[in-house]
Amino acid sequence: EILPTSQLASLTVAREIAELIKSKAAKGEKCVLGLATGSTPTQVYNQLVRMHKEEGLSFKNVITFNLDEYFPMQPNELQSYVRFMKEYLFDHVDIDMANVNIPDGTVAKEDVYEYCRNYEAKIDSVGGIDLQLLGIGRTGHIGFNEPGSSITSPTRMITLDHITRVDAASDFFAQENVPRHAITMGVGTIMKAKKIILMAWGEGKAKVIARTIEGEVSEQVPATYLQRHSNTQFYLDISASAEL
Ligand code: GLP
């Protein structure tokens, strides 16, 4: 889907999420959302908050799993994805915080492996992710699955790519402050989602989007694995679609 602006595309995505939440609620079912951070999904979250306030959209039946978190990272730090999600969404809607799952950047290093196994098991235990939102990094990463990630990779600790750390430098006020590691849902975890929506805005994403959609599937660009997923939709603004 190529829309004239990211605002319009975000509104369309937010409406789709709202419809899913409502249709699940009408059946007395939980709605399991996989959520992303970064600048790309912020307008979707703004719209969901607006729909909660103005249209009474309830998040009482929603369970969320975030894709990733820097490691190490304290939840109250400025760059923490826990803080991000609270600021953009969770603090403004009626979600039960017991239903919110975000990889924990404070786990002891020796416990990360088991922590990741449990995160994965928890997703399975609620029936899997109904709808996974994704942004895309300049390296072609989804979540923090950097080049070299396999299509079956599980939730795990990953070493961040140099380009990803350069891109995050402004958030951390200097590149040397950007953590070298992160915990991320794996490509295999993401591929199990029943539906995936990847969003990209701006000319800075045009090259990696063209490579992702029209290039060969390759571990060098993990987002290309989405070509093998049967229910993935891309939402682009005009600039991000410029090289297609
Ligand atoms: C980070 C996140 C990704 C996100 C990417 C792009 O690396 N872990 O999930 O897709 O940034 O960020 P932005 O949306 O700001 O371009």
pLDDT band at 176 (very low <50, low <70, confident <90, very high): very high
Which is the closest atom of ligand 1 to the Cα of 68?
A: 8
CA-to-CA dists, residue 97 to 30, 31, 90, 129, angstroms: 14, 14, 8, 17
- Give the chain's domains with CATH numbers: 2-239 (3.40.50.1360)
Is 160 strand, coil or helix? coil
CA of 26 to the centre of ligand 1 (A): 33
Average pLDDT over every residue of 121-140: 97
Contact 18, 244 (CB under 8 A): no
Closest C-alpha to ligand 1, atom 5: 137
pLDDT at res. 154: 98
For every residue of 176-211, which 3-state class applies, written as one string?
HHCCCEEEECCHHHHHCCCEEEEEECCHHHHHHHHH
pLDDT at res. 175: 96
Is 101 strand, coil or helix? strand
pLDDT at res. 173: 97
Most informative mutation of 144, 185, 226 for ligand 1 (most atoms within 8 A of CB): 144
Contact 186, 103 (CB under 8 A): no
pTM of the model: 0.98
Closest C-alpha to ligand 1, atom 10: 135
Which is the closest atom of ligand 1 to the Cα of 41?
A: 14
Q: How do residues 136-173 score in pLDDT, each as one tens digit? A: 999 999 999 999 999 999 999 999 999 999 999 999 99
> Could you give the percent of the chain with pLDDT greater than 90?
100
pLDDT at res. 193: 98
- How confident is the prediction for the chain on average, in pLDDT? 98
Q: State whether the beta carbon of 68 lies less than 6 angstroms from ligand 1.
A: yes
Average pLDDT over every residue of 84-91: 98
Average pLDDT over every residue of 88-93: 98
Q: State whether the beta carbon of 164 lies less than 6 angstroms from ligand 1.
A: yes
CA of 36 to the centre of ligand 1 (A): 8
Q: State whether the beta carbon of 34 lies less than 6 angstroms from ligand 1.
A: no
pLDDT band at 126 (very low <50, low <70, confident <90, very high): very high
Average pLDDT over every residue of 59-72: 98
Q: Which residues are catalytic?
A: 146
Give the separation between CA 178 and CA 166, rounded to whole angstroms. Answer: 8
pLDDT band at 112 (very low <50, low <70, confident <90, very high): very high
User: Residue 33, class by beta-carbon neighbours within 10 Å (0-12 exposed, 13-18 middle, 19+ buried)?
Assistant: buried
pLDDT band at 198 (very low <50, low <70, confident <90, very high): very high
Q: State whether the beta carbon of 69 lies less than 6 angstroms from ligand 1.
A: no
CA of 27 to the centre of ligand 1 (A): 33
Q: State whether the beta carbon of 144 lies less than 6 angstroms from ligand 1.
A: yes
